[in-house]
Amino acid sequence: MTDTETLRLPGLRLPARRLAPALALLLAACGEKDDGAPTGQVVARLKGEDITQLEVQAELQATPLPPNVDRKEAERIALNNIIVRRMLMDEAKARELDRTLQFQQQQRRLGEQLLVQALAADIARKVEDPTRNDAERFIRENPFLFENRRIFILDQIQFVRPENTDQLPLGPAKTLADVEKILSEAKIEYRRLPASLDSLGANPAFVAELVKVLEKNPREVFVFANQQPGQPAPLLTVNQVTETRVVPFTGERAIQFATNFLRTQNIQRALAEEVKRQREARKGQVVYQDGWGPPKSPVAPELAPQGVGAAAGTTAPTRLAPTEGAGKQPAAEPAAPAAPAGR
pLDDT tens, residue by residue, 285-310 = 989 899 888 877 655 556 654 444 33
pLDDT of residue 301: 53
Report the distance separating Cα 101 and Cα 202, nearest Å.
43
Report the distance separating Cα 325 and Cα 320, nearest Å.
13
Q: Which residues of the chain have pLDDT under 50?
A: 2, 4, 6-12, 14, 16-17, 19-33, 305-313, 322-343
pLDDT of residue 294: 81
Greatest Cα pair distance, the chain, in angstroms, is: 107
Adjacent-strand bridge partners of 297 = none
pLDDT of residue 339: 38
Report the distance separating Cα 81 and Cα 89, nearest Å.
12
pLDDT of residue 43: 93
Q: Phi-psi bin for 325: left (phi > 0), alpha (psi -120 to 50), beta?
A: left
Q: Identify the CA nearest to 198 among candidates 250, 242, 154.
A: 154
Reported as a single tens digit per residue, the pLDDT across 48-61 is: 899 999 999 999 98
Contact 136, 223 (CB under 8 A): no
Report the distance separating Cα 30 and Cα 8, nearest Å.
22
pLDDT of residue 106: 95
Report the distance separating Cα 343 and Cα 340, nearest Å.
7
Answering whether pTM is above 0.85, one says no
pLDDT of residue 161: 85
Kindly write down the DSSP assignment for every residue of 109-146, as one continuous string. Answer: HHHHHHHHHHHHHHHHHTSPPPPHHHHHHHHHH-GGGT
pLDDT of residue 340: 36
3-state secondary structure of 192: strand
Task: List the domain boundaries for the chain.
Answer: 38-100, 143-246
Report the distance separating Cα 237 and Cα 179, nearest Å.
11
Report the distance separating Cα 275 and Cα 310, nearest Å.
14
Contact 314, 206 (CB under 8 A): yes
Q: What distances in angstroms separate CA 59 from CA 38, 52, 53, 71, one per listed residue?
A: 19, 11, 10, 13
Report the distance separating Cα 55 and Cα 65, nearest Å.
15
- Which burial class, exposed, middle or buried, applies to 327 when counting CB atoms under 10 A from its CB (0-12, 13-18, 19+)? middle
pLDDT of residue 303: 62
